[in-house]
Structure 1
Amino acid sequence: MPSRHHLLCILSPSLSLVFFFFFLLSFHGGHSAFPTICESQSQCGNISIKYPFSTVSDAPVYCGYPQLRISCPDVDNPPTISLPGDTYLVTEINYVEETLTLVDIDVADRICPRASHNLTINSLPLGYNSADVNLTFFFNCSTPPLAPNPARAIDCLRSGDNQSYVFVNMSPDEAAAIREAWGCEEAVVAAVKRTEVTAANGGDELAGAMSEGFALDWAAVRECGACEHSGGRCAFNQNEQLLCFCEDGSNHTDGSFCKVARDLISGILRCFSSF
């Protein structure tokens, strides 16, 4: 069976010309331009916000990933992003290496930071960076550990006879066993940059390393992959419906349409050149 490109070439030049202009009108009509929708960027403090991030607003379309919407209170304060369990300060976005650096808002600028929750990123288009290490904190432990052990006491979190400790890169099973054996009130895992851990000499400094933040990598969300592969930008309306904005100004619910449209136009032009 002839392809649609071959069928088009079978038409007379006049009919092909009419079809071509009808196609262009239907393809471009009523759409917003790709550069103004998905290539725009805003400044929040000293952080540039652009695709795949977007700012939280009342806009009818968010161009970028829904999980990467950033709040910008004003130009003088750092932006924030809400992830499962808490809000984090965004201190850096590296668009070349596709990483963002976050600081738990609960520990920012505190002399004795205390991790208060674990970060779960399983459902997000995010992953821990190779520069990160995990710190496992044990708070208010009533039974002193036997020496020697790799635990580092956090003196600034001492409460009476109870002491808090921190370990570097401990497995969940080990953490559960130690929490029970040491009679600890709580165990929390937090990520920090490896360089900060290397520079720390004690438990207090390891806790303080949290104020320097940790890095996360981002990757294309599954439903946006086809759109981006075709040269488009992934967007969502207020009903969370997927849109794909293309460079020619069109938007579609089929992420592969950007590339299909360019191929079809090229085929039409090839037909014209043969007349």
Structure 2
Amino acid sequence: MYQICNLFSPLMNICVLIILWQLKSSSAVDSQYKYCSVPKTCGNVPIKYPFYLDGQQESYCGYPGFQLYCNGNGHTLLSSGFGSATINTIDYENHTLHLSHDGLFDHAGDCLGYLENFTSPNGPYELAPNQKEFVLLYYCNSSLVDESFSEYKLGCFDDTRTRTTVLALTKDDPQYGNALDKCGKERETVEGVYANVTGTAAGIREGLKAGFVVNWSARNCSLCENSGGKCGTSVGKLTCFCPDKLHDFFCPEEVGAVAGVALLVVIVWCSRGKLSTYRIIFFWKLQNQKRRTVEAFLRNYGGLQVKRYSYLEVKKMTNSFKRKLGQGGYGGVYKGKLNDGRLVAVKVLNRPKGDGEDFMNEVAAISTTSHVNIVSLLGFCFEGSKRALIYEFMPNGSLEKFIFDAKTPQKDHHLGWDMLETISLGIAQGLEYLHRGCSARILHFDIKPHNILLDENFWPKISDFGLAKICDRKESIVSMLVARGTAGYIAPEVFCRNFGGVSHKSDVYSYGMMLSEMAGGRKNINVEVEDTSEIYFPHWIYKRLELDQELGLQSIMNGEDEVRARKMIIVSLWCIQTDPSNRPSMKQVIEMLEGNVESLQIPPKPYLSSSPKSLALSSPTLVSIQ
């Protein structure tokens, strides 16, 4: 044994150094994790993500806009958009705050404290349903306020000079104007006082005393917390603080466990001298960790409302994968049928990447969506190394076969410019929903004809969210370590930051490239054409627009077709502007597609860093960047 270990001593030394480094790393606790893990309370109110105590905690322990204040009396105060209100309780599960008006009923007897004007809730907060806004009328002369206002009397107000009556009414109350007159010129009003008051006005005092409720919205933190981490903010976005370091979603297995396995490998290696043993243990450990990562995601992801199927059920619904619908870099898509008779498309992931990131991306992104232009996820399978996604079946397949392949029967019967315009508008509405209509902003990063599916009525639906990125709606620029997308559709800023920051405008670029292909009926880069000036379609078509020539596109049968084609091309050229700030939002794209072509200006000529010829010659070698 000594001779064997001596034989591998140089490599053994390296292994030992790695183990010692790992053990040292696992013993060092991340400072932000340690700091944010200290429990905080103000009075009897526990403070945790997304809130943080201003002046007592670093802001990275919470989320921007969720700062709270703890006064000397142990009262937790919310001052963002409310003036100042006391927090009675925080319901973290239902995302609600129960507030009361600070100091209003703290005085002895019937006399009330004086309130400053409040403002309506803003930022991440909104009033819960049934909350009414009242106006308090101070300094009302009790001799002028007769019995008709008895239901509106809150009590007295004593400013050491005189004692007056305080009324509370809503502005839409029929008695409001009369009350202003009764209180005279010396009245003082306080607006923005809220209560959940139902029934008669007699319950106003009790309602104001009980307080009011607001809701808040913030990214779900359960995945991070259930993995042993603490949610916080880093570079303006939600981050999981873990014992070892920062992670995007959740904490992986402890480094010490990995070091322990590495130590076991060295022992086995020294005692038996078999490299294969090391490989087996390491592979087993790696695969086990990946499975546990995905299982943790599926167990804790709050928005997941789709059914989980076993691999045997997937084989049964696809008749052992008998009918293949398509093939991609991820694997194959097969036609299937559920027990209730519904037809489905089963996407089987043959080569899951990383720790199952592509699988988790797709499930997380699409399971939170509900839109007529987004394909519906009906279920999934995760069993060992087997992973599949079950989608609604789209009878007409993907858009690409209707615009690229001249040999298909569908190509002989052109969809028609009316249908192409409808499809382009539907895709734009789907992207607008992803960018602005969801609870979180979803960037697709792989918009192309292959990922647009058509139902029996040729209604388009966006599919394939394997490269999608979920971010906060307030984020304008997103961070990205590596480029993602398909060559020919990737925005310049995605692979070169000199062009600008990555944002929802990156999807706009991909949409524009796809739209120009829909209009041109061909790939944007086509090496088969004889005239080299026609290799790059956007440049070729731009020249015709610039010279006010006929578009010269196939299948244009009349003037209406010409108008629709011209509109789609102009919109596509706006979308593929190199500078992201010059591109329209998807909302503006929809407005342009729905408007008149006469109102559309010709955009600047799209810049292309490579010549069309060199780009065309190199493009066949490009593959999806993930």
TM over 0.5: yes
Which amino acid in 2 is paired with 1:101? H
Q: Counterpart of 1:170?
A: 171
Within the alignment, does 1:71 sit opposite 2:69 as a pair? yes
RMSD across aligned positions (CA): 4.8
Within the alignment, does 1:123 sit opposite 2:122 as a pair? yes
1:91 aligned residue (63, 67, 88)? 88
2:236 aligned residue (231, 234, 242)? 242
- Where in structure 2 are the equivalents of 1:118-267 lying within 5 Å? 118-130=117-129, 132-141=131-140, 144=144, 152-157=152-157, 163-167=165-169, 169-171=170-172, 175=176, 177-178=177-178, 181-182=181-182, 183=184, 185-189=187-191, 190-194=193-197, 201=202, 206-207=204-205, 210-220=208-218, 225=219, 233-235=231-233, 241-246=235-240, 250-251=245-246, 258=249, 265-266=354-355
Cα distance, 1:193–1:173 mapped onto 2, change above 3 Å: closer
5+ long unaligned stretches in structure 1: 1-20
2:60 aligned residue (62, 85, 107)? 62
TM-superposed deviation, 1:264? 5.1
* Cα distance in 1, alignment partners of residues 90 and 125 from structure 2: 13
Contact 1:85 1:117 in 2 (8 A): no
* Cα distance in 2, alignment partners of residues 235 and 170 from structure 1: 41
* Cα distance in 1, alignment partners of residues 112 and 146 from structure 2: 26
* Cα distance in 2, alignment partners of residues 51 and 113 from structure 1: 34
* Cα distance in 2, alignment partners of residues 211 and 79 from structure 1: 17
Q: RCO greater where, 1 or 2, for CA within 8 Å and sep 6 or more?
A: 1
Query: SS in structure 2 opposite 1:66?
Result: coil
Cα distance, 1:65–1:150 mapped onto 2, change above 3 Å: farther
* Cα distance in 2, alignment partners of residues 152 and 61 from structure 1: 42
TM-superposed deviation, 1:124? 2.4
* Cα distance in 1, alignment partners of residues 98 and 156 from structure 2: 26
* Cα distance in 2, alignment partners of residues 97 and 113 from structure 1: 32
Q: Counterpart of 1:43?
A: 41
Which amino acid in 1 is paired with 2:355? S
Determine what percentage of the aligned residue pairs are the same residue: 18
Contact 1:93 1:100 in 2 (8 A): yes
Which amino acid in 2 is paired with 1:117? E
Query: SS in structure 1 opposite 2:156?
Result: helix
TM-superposed deviation, 1:120? 1.7
Contact 1:129 1:215 in 2 (8 A): yes
TM-superposed deviation, 1:80? 2.6
TM-superposed deviation, 1:132? 3.2
5+ long unaligned stretches in structure 2: 1-17, 225-229, 253-292, 294-351, 360-384, 386-626
* Cα distance in 2, alignment partners of residues 213 and 61 from structure 1: 28
Deviations 1:76-104 (A, max 9, x none): 82323323463332221111222112223
Cα distance, 1:90–1:162 mapped onto 2, change above 3 Å: closer
Contact 2:82 2:121 in 1 (8 A): no
Query: SS in structure 2 opposite 1:93?
Result: strand
* Cα distance in 2, alignment partners of residues 45 and 161 from structure 1: 33
Cα distance, 1:172–1:234 mapped onto 2, change above 3 Å: farther
Deviations 1:225-244 (A, max 9, x none): 5x8699694426xxxx5143
1:100 aligned residue (86, 97, 102)? 97
Contact 2:112 2:155 in 1 (8 A): no
* Cα distance in 2, alignment partners of residues 40 and 170 from structure 1: 46
TM-score norm. by structure 2 comes to 0.29
The structure with the largest strand share of the pair is 1
* Cα distance in 2, alignment partners of residues 132 and 107 from structure 1: 18
* Cα distance in 2, alignment partners of residues 163 and 265 from structure 1: 69
Structure index of larger Rg:
2
TM-superposed deviation, 1:49? 1.0
TM-superposed deviation, 1:199? 9.8
Which amino acid in 1 is paired with 2:168? V
The structure with the largest helix share of the pair is 2
Deviations 1:124-152 (A, max 9, x none): 21122235333322223469468856862
Contact 1:39 1:50 in 2 (8 A): no
Which amino acid in 2 is paired with 1:246? C
* Cα distance in 2, alignment partners of residues 155 and 101 from structure 1: 23
Deviations 1:25-59 (A, max 9, x none): 9xx99993886566653232221111111122365
Q: What count of residue pairs does the alignment treat as equivalent? A: 224
Q: Counterpart of 1:3?
A: none
* Cα distance in 2, alignment partners of residues 77 and 229 from structure 1: 28
Cα distance, 1:84–1:178 mapped onto 2, change above 3 Å: farther
Query: SS in structure 1 opposite 2:65?
Result: helix
TM-superposed deviation, 1:108? 4.6
